Amino acid sequence: MNNLYTPSLDRAPEQIVQAWLTGLNSALRSGDLDAVRILFRHDAHWRDIVALRWTLGTISEKDAIAPALLDAARESGARDFRIDEERAAPTFAERAGDAVVEAILRFETAVGHGEGVVRIKRADAVDSVPRAWTLLTALQSIGGHDEETVRLSREEPPFERDWHGPNWLDRREEERRFADRDPVVLIVGGGHSGLSAAAALKAQGIDALVVDRMARIGDNWRNRYHSLKLHNKTPSNHLAYLPFPSTWPNYIAKDKIANWLELYVEALDINFWTRTQFEGATYDEAAAHWSARLRLDDGSQRVMRPRHIIMATSVSGTPNIPKIPTLENFSGAVVHSSAFRNGAEYKDRNVFVFGTGTSAHDITQDLHGHGAYVTMVQRSPTEVINIEPSAQLYDGIFYGKGPSIIDRDLLSASIPLEVMKQSHRLLTVKAREYDAPLHKRLQEAGFRLDFDEFGWPLKFRTRGGGYYFNVGGSDLIANKEVGLLQYYDIEGFEASGVRMRDGGLVPGELVVLATGYKGLDHVVRTLFGEDVSKRVGSIWGFDESQELRSMWMRTGQPGLWFTGGAFSQCRIYSKYLALQIKAAELGLLPA
């Protein structure tokens, strides 16, 4: 027997991983199903990101993994799995409470290069054949179309031979105009998700245009309420190709983000039209392109015919304004949180804030700081987490100190859903211990808490909300510096406030509806029609393949794609979205 398989407690991570890779390459070459099966634990997970199966999907348990991996490797030509010597070295680590060996891999397919991650539990590393717990396979680049090759293909000569001809700026302005062409990809939405997609497409050499109705790049952040900052730390929020400066603060203010997005567009030569309203599109099956209707700043309409449309209007882009019985009786102002700017004008005035999520707490804090008398109205239980240290525990798995951001992103993407749940369950127990004093005080003040065993990240991936990172808002409630009402205790609205079921009247002059946003399903029905909506199906939340529905992957509607979520999600998955569109343009995607 090959001495790489000799059981030993003293083997280095490289030896353990190499032993497993030797077995994998041999099994794939021979097509031996049993030999593949023996390489995985019974509770193993294989996640593939468009490398072997041209979609995102996770398969669990070795009896399901083995035949699927063997078939996919045969179809894709996956071969020569090896430790990537140019990435972070194999190491011992702890994941989801287990000691593991973790290694970044490289491999080849019929269309290009792949990257991946394998994890082997230390308990399984002493067996004669190490067994993998998790395996990620992801497409890194398409042969002949890697980012460096694309960059060199558009390299300009070192000097202009015609000194009076168009220079770089002239060519950029002409490119931005799209006067004589349509983009291959139209990206609707100019926030961080749209710009991440545009940057990834640019790196693949794909002509794309971002459109947004805002007046200035970054206004989707700039125009939000005055005190807004990101509530997770800078290391997880970098943008691809242009990370934030190392001198930046841990929590970035909204205007700093807005200005950076503007700089990002300019630095990365992203084509962007402001003051442009996307009014919908219809798909021509025969021609395989869209007819997309754009309303321009001057009121004119432009019809473009891109082959692909990426909806980057965020996973919760349309304000949700619920039907609240008797609200029409209220004589004061009513605004959705998306339209709230700051509370300066409400000094010494009574205000209701409907909702107890992040926006509701932040707006309450802003109003209170300006001297308003605020009453929060709670409609449903909410998870509350102190911003430090509790909320940062989850991002801290990969986005503390460590290897390069590229390696950390790959390691993060390699965690399948079930392992993520195990990890988050442990972290949530620790977070609850940290936050127990705050929770006790909140409950004593009448606040209803939601306790989810997996914590806030899974809430975000399933509901898009339902939690609050405490940056002082919860302390205002616990200290009873702001009022708190339960919605079920309200009888109804009157002109000057709300009448309670016990007969009391709580006065108010403003209602802020911090009631969240409608999902992308609503956006699709509105802009593309019911038929397209049915083809696409549900968006966001997890599907049967343990992936976020319709996100960064082909949908039932050809040429329609979706992106959104946190900075880190958009940074990681925009690359794979762009690779799929590149493959479609090259004729590589199967039907």
Q: Confirm if 116 and 132 have CB atoms less than 8 A apart.
A: no
The owner of tokens 């468009």 is 50
Beta bridge partners of 334: 511
- 229 and 249 Cβ atoms separated by less than 8 Å: no
* Confidence at 99, pLDDT banded by 50, 70, 90: very high
**What would the pLDDT profile of 413-450 be if each residue is shown by its tens digit?**
999 999 999 999 999 999 999 999 999 999 999 999 99
**Interval 521-551: pLDDT, tens:** 889 999 999 999 999 999 999 999 999 999 9
Which tokens hold the place of 139?
């497409």
Separation between Cα atoms, residue 280 and residue 190, nearest integer Å: 16
Give, rounded to a whole angstrom, the gap between the first and last alpha carbons of the chain: 44
pLDDT band for position 7 (cuts 50, 70, 90) = very low
* Cβ atoms of 175 and 271 closer than 8 Å: yes
* Tokens representing residue 214 in the block: 């805002």
Would the pLDDT of 493 be above 70? yes
pLDDT band at 2 (very low <50, low <70, confident <90, very high): very low
β-pair partners for 237: none
Query: What is the Cα–Cα distance from 429 to 425, expressed in whole angstroms?
Result: 6
Task: Give the Cα separation of 162 and 100 in Å (integer).
Answer: 61
Torsions phi, psi of 265, nearest 5?
-60, -45
Domains of the chain, CATH where assigned? 3-142 (3.10.450.50), 168-317+519-585 (3.50.50.60), 320-517 (3.50.50.60)
Q: Work out the angle at residue 143's Cα, subtended by the Cα atoms of residues 138 and 149, and round it to the nearest 5 degrees.
A: 110
Instruction: Give me the chain's average pLDDT, please.
Output: 92
Spatial neighbors of 97 by CB under 8 A, at least 6 apart, are 422, 423, 426
Residue with tokens 């762009």: 578
Confidence of residue 315 (pLDDT cuts 50, 70, 90): low
Half-sphere exposure of 454 (CA within 13 A, CB side): 13
On whether the CB atoms of residues 48 and 138 are closer than 8 A, the answer is yes
Count of CB atoms situated within 10 Å of the CB of 314? 22
Percent of the chain with pLDDT over 70: 98
